[in-house]
Amino acid sequence: MKLAIDSYCYHRYYGDVYAGLQKLPATTMTVWDFLKRAKRLGVAGVSLESCYFPSLPDDLLKRLRDTLDAYEFESVWAWGHPSGLCSGTNREAARDLVCHIGYAKKLGARVMRIVGGSWRNRPTSWAIHKRRLASMLKKLLPAAEDHGIVLAIENHVDMTADQIVELITTIDSPWLRVCLDTGNNVRLHEDPVMVAEKLAPFTRATHIKDVWGEPGAPKDFASWPSVPLGKGVVNIPKVLEHLRKARYRGLLAIEIDYLRPDYGDEGPAVRASVKYLKSLLASKSLKHH
């Protein structure tokens, strides 16, 4: 397992804020700034959020690939923020996803995180949700196979752990796997260690996230803000143990979404999370990975 950072940690610096909860910072950030920062923090890889690229011409993709190679970064290409395939109803998004499979290939990524939907657009009926999403995903998998890119669908506060397992096993393709987000299902009142145990065998990408919340907190996003790893309710060592048992070899991509306001800026929270995760990976139980 390799330490990484998802560029979404710095979403405010790309002009992306949660309305009513966050404000824009005084400065901005480019992808080149992010990659330099990740290199200084000593990580082995990055997950790059495609939504922060206004366009992706070939010359930019080449420069990006060259920079990733120069920094010796393993990468995951992340597609779909915030609503992705809209639970299997957005055909335009499906066409865009296919284009991004090609971008992922050009960047040298072997895994592309995708979003099936969000809590905003998931149907109340799981039967309808599963049918729509599975039908759309099956049509996308030939392109993934042609390019050698595994699509890793995130538990994006739109499906329970059992529902994701059901979706993956129903489609039954090696080109569709999971991006395990360690915090999102807490927002569905699921135990994060249980979620990790169920999803680890299918996991090809991660968002290693910790969240703050109180027992019985409402099922809404703002009730479970992100905090630096080790400061919230997610038992990160137990999650990593399940990934280790499942022989996961990919990136452990730190992610911060809506940072709890008393932690201030995302920079120190990311640095603290990197330090914490490095210490876990250096421990006796995990260092051989």
Q: 3-state DSSP call for residue 124?
A: coil
Q: What's the pLDDT score for residue 269? A: 98
- Tokens read off for 243: 């990934």
Q: What's the pLDDT score for residue 286? A: 59
Distance CA 156, CA 82 (A): 9
Average confidence (pLDDT) over 151-158: 97
List pLDDT tens digits, range 158-204. 999 999 999 999 999 999 999 999 999 999 999 999 999 999 999 99
pLDDT band at 288 (very low <50, low <70, confident <90, very high): very low
Q: What's the pLDDT score for residue 289? A: 43
Please tell me what DSSP assigns to residue 185: G
Query: How many residues are there in the chain?
Result: 289
- The residues, ordered by sequence, that sit 6+ positions from 247 with a Cβ below 8 Å of its Cβ are none
Q: What's the pLDDT score for residue 246? A: 98
Q: Helix, strand, coil proportions of the chain in percent (round to 5)?
A: 45, 15, 40
Average confidence (pLDDT) over 205-210: 98
Distance CA 13, CA 52 (A): 10
List pLDDT tens digits, range 219-240. 888 899 999 999 999 999 999 9
Distance CA 148, CA 49 (A): 20
Share of the chain above pLDDT 90, in %: 93
Asked whether the beta carbons of 160 and 130 are under 8 A apart, the reply is no
Average confidence (pLDDT) over 66-93: 98
**Average pLDDT score over the chain:** 96
Domains of the chain (ranges; CATH) run 2-281 (3.20.20.150)
Q: 3-state DSSP call for residue 5?
A: strand
Q: What's the pLDDT score for residue 285? A: 59
Look up the pTM and report it: 0.96
Share of the chain above pLDDT 70, in %: 98
Q: What's the pLDDT score for residue 284? A: 56
Q: What's the pLDDT score for residue 242? A: 98
Distance CA 196, CA 180 (A): 7
List pLDDT tens digits, range 2-29. 999 999 999 999 999 999 999 999 999 9
Distance CA 258, CA 16 (A): 11
pLDDT band at 69 (very low <50, low <70, confident <90, very high): very high
Beta bridge partners of 152: 113, 177
φ/ψ of 185, rounded to 5, equals -75, -15
Q: What's the pLDDT score for residue 216? A: 81
CA distances from 153 to 98, 121, 134 (A): 14, 16, 12
List pLDDT tens digits, range 256-287. 999 999 999 999 999 999 999 999 999 855 55
